[in-house]
Structure 1
Amino acid sequence: MPSRPWRLRIQDILDAITPIQQATVGISYEQFEQMEDLVLHGILYNFMIVGEAAVNVPDSIQSRYPQIPWRSMRDMRNVMVHEYFQVNLERMWRTIYEDLPAVVAMLETLLQQEIGEE
């Protein structure tokens, strides 16, 4: 039995994305790479939560929502945890600005649809 219901894992993803977006709102890549290490580490930590929570969403849910980048979330977490010396700040910044807004919208839709089917 999972340690946490999958719906809470989806909420964990959303809750981890919020501080990432709040810490980076309206900043350029140059400003991002000059952030204090403590802030960058907080962002990295929240990305790790995103990936770990994504791993724990059942395959049955993931297959019903293939547009959500489950694999990318897991892979990014794996790099940050296991290949931490290869973390690419530019890629992370692009993910924040180019990918996270759509991921948030898709996850919110997923929760609404799944709750509506109960």
Structure 2
Amino acid sequence: MKKDPLVFISHRVECIEIIERYVRNTKKSSFMKSVQKQDAVIRRIEIIGEATKHFPKEIKDKYSIIPWQKIAGMRDMLIHEYFGVDLELTWNVATKDIPRLKKEIKKIKLELMQ
């Protein structure tokens, strides 16, 4: 049974908003010292990446502006680099890439709801 693409999109929006809450009002220096925040953000990025791998190809093709492969690749890097997670990269993803992704994902969600 195929999952409704809207379910995948809604799940991503939820994860994105959780990441935004985790880093809201957080300075980079605080993030770098907080293993708890790091773990929380990393986990949500992993979930977004894993969900991306299962997203329907036709939707990925239609919305090729989103770097689907990079998102999935980030997940793989986080999962497999146990001792070498780049926290600078993780911070940049959480504070720069995630807000941009949210805009694009919300556009897709609106289109799918029509």
Q: Distance in 2 between matches of 1:26 and 1:71?
A: 30
Q: Any idea what the Cα deviations from partners look like across 1:73-110, whole Å, max 9, x if unmatched? A: 10111011122322110011111121111110100100
- Name which of 80, 88, 97 aligns with 1:90: 88
- Residue 11 of structure 1 is matched in structure 2 by 10
Q: Distance in 2 between matches of 1:105 and 1:75?
A: 20
Displaced runs of 4 or more, over 3 A: none
Q: Distance in 1 between matches of 2:8 and 2:18?
A: 16
User: Residue 85 of structure 1: SS of its match in structure 2?
Assistant: coil
Q: Say whether the 8 Å CA contact 1:10–1:107 is kept in structure 2.
A: yes
* Residue identity (%): 24
Q: Distance in 1 between matches of 2:66 and 2:87?
A: 22
- Residue 65 of structure 1 is matched in structure 2 by 63
Gap regions ≥5 residues in structure 1: none
Instruction: Flag the 1:70–1:90 CA change in 2: closer, same or farther, 3 A.
Output: same
Aligned positions, number:
114
- Residue 48 of structure 1 is matched in structure 2 by 46
**Does residue 102 of structure 1 match 2:100?**
yes
Q: Any idea what the Cα deviations from partners look like across 1:26-70, whole Å, max 9, x if unmatched? A: 3222111011x2332121111111001111111110011111121
TM-score, normalised to structure 2, is 0.90
- Residue 110 of structure 2 is matched in structure 1 by 112
Q: Say whether the 8 Å CA contact 2:22–2:40 is kept in structure 1.
A: no
Gap regions ≥5 residues in structure 2: none
AA in 2 matched with 1:67 = I
Larger RCO (CA under 8 A, 6+ residues apart):
2
TM-score, normalised to structure 1, is 0.87
